[in-house]
Structure 1
Amino acid sequence: MSDLIRVLIVDDNEDMRGNIRKILSFESRIDVVGEAADGYQAIDMAAKYKPDIVLMDINMPGLDGISATERISLKCPYTSVIVISVQGENEYLKRAMLAGAKEYLIKPFSPEDINQTILNVYERNKERTTEVYAHKVLEQGYVQAPKVITVFSGKGGVGKSLIATNLAVGLAKLHKKVVIVDLDLMFGDVASLFNLKIKETIYHLVQEIERLDSESILSYLVETSSKVRVLAAPIRPEQSEMITGVHVEKIIRLLKETHDYVIVDTPSQLTDPVLTLEQSDFILLVNTLSVPVLRHNKNFLEILKSLSVPTERVRIIINRATLDTGVKIKDVKTALGMELYCLLPEERFVDLSINTGEPLLEMKASSRWSKEMNKLVQQIIAEDERAKSESWIKRFRLGRKRA
């Protein structure tokens, strides 16, 4: 028996949606699972219903079809988007394909055209995903699952960038492919913390983002002596205005294709690019034994809930945990309502590390701080490996049931 192809129709014209639904109703292999009138509805319904195919109009109010296609391609990698439009110019075709569309149909189209296009795209995607999965299972024993780790704090000066850079070094020392993205777009210090001389930054990357793929994007990264790749923040603060959340979503998606871990260092404000937190597998929330820091981070946890980002992804870190400030470690747990994940002690060599651009894990590998950081690295890898194993077992059992 052939698979039933689940289709979502997206068009702001109700009559057009109805006509397409009627055409598709005569194809026994196609099941229309829903309709959306704009790009925002399309994204929500794609995430909810997980269709095999999305038929996407371009010109819609609110969020247009190109932008919606890009977001759906990012959030729902096993969903194929077919763009439908009255626009037949090459520029529209190019934009649609760069956004992730698998095919482009020009209105008006015949019932044979749309049905055959859906069947062809579905079969191509089915073949591709099956081959990719089989190759990775044979090669590695499980499906490779790159992880995005965002390091955040609602208050500056807590050692967030220090933790992000040393975490990257620790993972790289264990032969993981690691890239760190500096999203503190106005005043990022990641390049400085590695003592790097930067010529091109994320600002230069976004000028060419429409033509980039997972290979060409690598030319904008600088590799450190510890084998960590860095995508640096803009050199001038005013350049930060050119980088949007959509840019960041695509950058992270491309970097995940060639790295085991994408580490995102952030500012202390929830700017539009930082609101890509929903892409994160882990969110390391950095605290110190400070009332203002705890207050800001508690607010951040509330914001996460409003964004529907599961707090299960959050890991509570305390930096300078050995300082006597009047705030106790147990107070952090009480204030944030979460278990503690890692305690990093006060470290007297921090300033020297920052000023010389040599990560603490390399400068003082035997220090208490470095030892605790290595424990954090091991915890993250252990969680990652456990999740991969569970995913493989689940897929294996599902495969046996289908067989």
Structure 2
Amino acid sequence: MDKLNLVVLTDDMDLRIHVKNMATDEDIVIAGYSDFGSAGMLKIESLAPDVVVCAIKGEIGEQRFAFIRNLFLTVKTTAILLLTDSLSVDTVNMAAQAGVRQSMPLDTQPSEFCEAVRRASATEKQRQLDNASGKRTRSRTIGFFGGKGGTGKTTMAVNTAVGLAKKGKRVALIDLDLQFGDVNMMLELEPKDTIIELVQERGGINIESIRSFSMIHSSGITVLCAPKSAEFAELVEGRHVETIIDVMRPYFEYIIVDLPPSFNDVSIAAVENCDEIYLVYNSDILSLKNAKVCMTILDQLQHKEKVRIIINKNINGLIRYKDFERMFGMPVFGVVGTDDKTANVSLNKGRPIVISASRTAMARDIMAIVNKIDKQAR
């Protein structure tokens, strides 16, 4: 088994011991320790570690972020992780802008820490290989549609995005449910700016403005949130959606779109620019009826070939997922079992199921869908 070499940067001796105790797996070796200064930069340049772990207690000042940014620009073959006891939305955003691949709390479990180290290293190595070969990964834009409220399409969109990020993918998540979008709640984000500020930006829509008006979740995904007030929804037009997706494509491997539960100018523009549309429905008669109407419209729009079906809250009742397969003449792409307790706790805490309840059957069902989506891209 190949060893992964770490260098730990911290000004706190206790944190050196703390990180050492977190690196419990045999394939992860701490090659050295240093502080945030010229000595630390020299050590990293000389050891060329796979991953640098920045461990910081208390508020992280601009000087620390400037050092991390300089490290990112200087040692381009090393992934950077941040461990801090002051993890917040602002901290995650500033860390991501400085080049940190993932930010985590100091009390992260050793198993999660070791997995994050492996994932960060693997992603960085793949990026280096892609750059060396001139390879450009084709971005895939995936829309999640429910046709009515309560199907779980936002839950699926959010957890798919985070699940793909767990696999080391570069992921963006767009909340296009412009009137009632709650992606930010499911990720415990409090956006200062949203898609409204983006489309009104005088400089136009470009990757810099998209990053400026988006947020970075602790999982690493870039999130463009829905308006804070439903009255602003009409300011977003189909042409804006098309431009946003086109601009994002070169920078993300996956663009996940949480679509509104109806067909309008915005949702149709998104559908036209999506590579796949995942219809999320429950195993009941109303969902079956709604899915039929939705499929008819998508067929009329000549996008039926993009459609995949996911059955959420599956129960062995009168309507089963086999009924969907018979009606539409296609296999159901994935099935997620019913677990209201796990879903409600995830929503109330703002923590995705694939992170907060990764050992539950529901999380396994979702990750099976995520793995299937990712496998199709290869």
Pick the TM interval, shorter chain.
0.5 to 0.7
Q: CA RMSD in A?
A: 1.8
Alpha-carbon distance between aligned partners in 2 of 1:330 and 1:140, rounded to the nearest angstrom: 45
Deviation at 1:267, TM superposition (A): 1.6
Specify which of 251, 275, 286 is matched with residue 281 of structure 1.
275
Count the aligned residue pairs.
249
Instruction: Indicate whether 1:370 and 2:363 are aligned.
Output: yes
SS in 1 for 2:138: coil
TM-score of the superposition, structure 2-length normalised? Answer: 0.63
The aligned residue for residue 185 of structure 2 is: 192
Counterpart residue type for residue 287 of structure 1: Y
SS in 1 for 2:363: helix
Deviation at 1:325, TM superposition (A): 3.3
Alpha-carbon distance between aligned partners in 1 of 2:131 and 2:188, rounded to the nearest angstrom: 40
The aligned residue for residue 206 of structure 2 is: 213
Counterpart residue type for residue 297 of structure 2: I
Alpha-carbon distance between aligned partners in 1 of 2:144 and 2:133, rounded to the nearest angstrom: 29
Q: How does 1:281-300 map onto structure 2 within 5 Å? A: 281-300=275-294
Deviation at 1:176, TM superposition (A): 0.7
Task: Give a deviation string over 1:53-78, Cα, whole Å, max 9, x none.
Answer: xxxxxxxxxxxxxxxxxxxxxxxxxx
Q: How does 1:93-132 map onto structure 2 within 5 Å? A: none
The aligned residue for residue 328 of structure 1 is: 320
Deviation at 1:212, TM superposition (A): 3.0
Deviation at 1:319, TM superposition (A): 0.4
Alpha-carbon distance between aligned partners in 2 of 1:236 and 1:167, rounded to the nearest angstrom: 26
Alpha-carbon distance between aligned partners in 2 of 1:281 and 1:136, rounded to the nearest angstrom: 26
Distance 1:380 1:140, change over 3 A: farther
The aligned residue for residue 335 of structure 2 is: 343
Alpha-carbon distance between aligned partners in 2 of 1:212 and 1:182, rounded to the nearest angstrom: 16
Alpha-carbon distance between aligned partners in 2 of 1:343 and 1:328, rounded to the nearest angstrom: 11
Alpha-carbon distance between aligned partners in 1 of 2:131 and 2:228, rounded to the nearest angstrom: 44
Deviation at 1:366, TM superposition (A): 0.7
The aligned residue for residue 155 of structure 1 is: 148
Alpha-carbon distance between aligned partners in 1 of 2:275 and 2:181, rounded to the nearest angstrom: 22
Structure 1 outlier segments of 4+, above 6 Å: 135-138
Deviation at 1:211, TM superposition (A): 2.4
Alpha-carbon distance between aligned partners in 2 of 1:191 and 1:301, rounded to the nearest angstrom: 29
Q: Which runs of 5+ in 1 are unaligned?
A: 1-134, 386-403
SS in 1 for 2:310: strand
Distance 1:240 1:138, change over 3 A: closer
Deviation at 1:166, TM superposition (A): 0.3
Distance 1:352 1:145, change over 3 A: same
Percent identity of the aligned residues? 35
Distance 1:273 1:351, change over 3 A: same
TM-score of the superposition, structure 1-length normalised? Answer: 0.59
SS in 1 for 2:351: coil
Deviation at 1:142, TM superposition (A): 4.8
Alpha-carbon distance between aligned partners in 1 of 2:266 and 2:202, rounded to the nearest angstrom: 15
Distance 1:190 1:140, change over 3 A: farther
Residues 161, 256 of structure 2: 8 Å contact kept: yes
Q: How does 1:3-402 map onto structure 2 within 5 Å? A: 139-140=132-133, 142-208=135-201, 211-276=204-269, 277-309=271-303, 311-321=304-314, 323-347=315-339, 348-385=341-378
The aligned residue for residue 65 of structure 1 is: none
Distance 1:176 1:209, change over 3 A: farther
The aligned residue for residue 10 of structure 2 is: none
Alpha-carbon distance between aligned partners in 1 of 2:224 and 2:202, rounded to the nearest angstrom: 14
Distance 1:136 1:269, change over 3 A: farther
Deviation at 1:143, TM superposition (A): 4.2
Alpha-carbon distance between aligned partners in 1 of 2:171 and 2:293, rounded to the nearest angstrom: 30
Counterpart residue type for residue 146 of structure 2: S
SS in 2 for 1:349: helix
Residues 198, 209 of structure 2: 8 Å contact kept: no
SS in 1 for 2:354: helix
Task: Give a deviation string over 1:155-204, Cα, whole Å, max 9, x none.
Answer: 21011100000000100011111111000000101000000011100011
Q: Which runs of 5+ in 2 are unaligned?
A: 1-127
